[in-house]
Amino acid sequence: MMIGRAGTFLYHRCSKPRGMSMRTLAVTGIFCSTFAMTAAAGMPPQPGVTLEPHRAVYDLTLAWASGQSGIEGLHGRFVYSFTGAPCEGYVTEMRMVTDIAREHGAMVTDQTSSSFEDLEKGAFSFSSKMFADYSLQSETAGEANRAADHMIAVKLGDQNPFDIGKAQFPTEYLANVLDAAAAGKHVYEAASFDGSGEEVMRAVTLIGDREKGVGSGPDQWPVTTAYFPIASQDGDQTPDYTVSMTLAANGVSRDLLMDFGNFKMAGHLDKLEMLDPAACEGLPTTAASQR
């Protein structure tokens, strides 16, 4: 999961929600990135990486909050669905609902996101909606396409396309992180674009030591991804936010921890359903892929 991309989700301050970016889970997209090794943007994942379709439900709780955050409590649910196959593309559907107790009253946030990604063609389409107290705060829809020179053009709604340079899309980045982990690498870094805004982020993922899976389950790694503005190259700079998780070789994430600076949110895997792989006879459909 990438959260981000997923991913990726919470980017609000106390008095006003700032967008619970999907980049945070990704959750994806999640989610999951790394350091030291920098892959070329647009590099396809190695054939040894197998991302398995699944549906995961996470319980969300407040792990920590500073006095300045104004947050006194938080609980919610995060539902993540990943389907598709390399031959026809991948569909990611996410929904996160949180009930936030604040110093000056409670707030309910609800964000949904849908995306389609074709790793072979370098195509990415996405849509998302963000509600606060049942009122629509923001809505985004667009598509991004990679040209032969690896440069990416993005089109948001009816706006004219604009270039964002070289970057990796959420599923692409996740697969490359898993490839790095399987190869024994402990750092992965790349420019990342997940459709949650117009900007490209510099994603840096630290990968811990391989852990054997339980029983016949896949191996897994503890990973932490930090997201920086793309213009930032100073290793001492504070990231905009970080996402930590236990990432399995099949792309399933557990033990989520999202750090937004003045508060942290934890995600515990409550339910996991492994889904059948796509038959590669047609294109998966989402609101994003139908545009």
Q: Flag residues of the chain having pLDDT under 70.
A: 1-48, 232-236, 281-291
The whole-angstrom separation of Cα 54 and Cα 52 is 6
- The per-residue pLDDT for 230 is 87
- The per-residue pLDDT for 280 is 72
Q: What pTM did the predictor assign?
A: 0.84
SS3 labels along 230-247: CCCCCCCCCCCEEEEEEE
- The per-residue pLDDT for 198 is 84
* Cβ-proximal residues to 170 (8 Å cutoff; 6+ apart), any chain: 2, 4, 5, 6, 7, 26, 28, 29, 30, 31, 92, 115, 117, 124, 192, 194
pLDDT tens digits, residue range 217-237? 999 999 999 999 987 666 568
pLDDT tens digits, residue range 244-281? 999 999 999 999 999 999 999 999 999 999 999 887 76
Q: Are strands 263-274 and 89-102 parallel, antiparallel or unpaired?
A: unpaired
The whole-angstrom separation of Cα 291 and Cα 10 is 27
CA dihedral 172, 175, 176, 177 (to 10 degrees): 120
- The per-residue pLDDT for 225 is 98
Report, in angstroms and rounded to the nearest whole number, the Rg of the chain calculated over CA atoms: 17
Stretch (H or E) spanning 127? strand 123-132
Q: Which region, left, alpha or beta, applies to residue 205 given φ > 0 means left and ψ of -120 to 50 means alpha?
A: beta
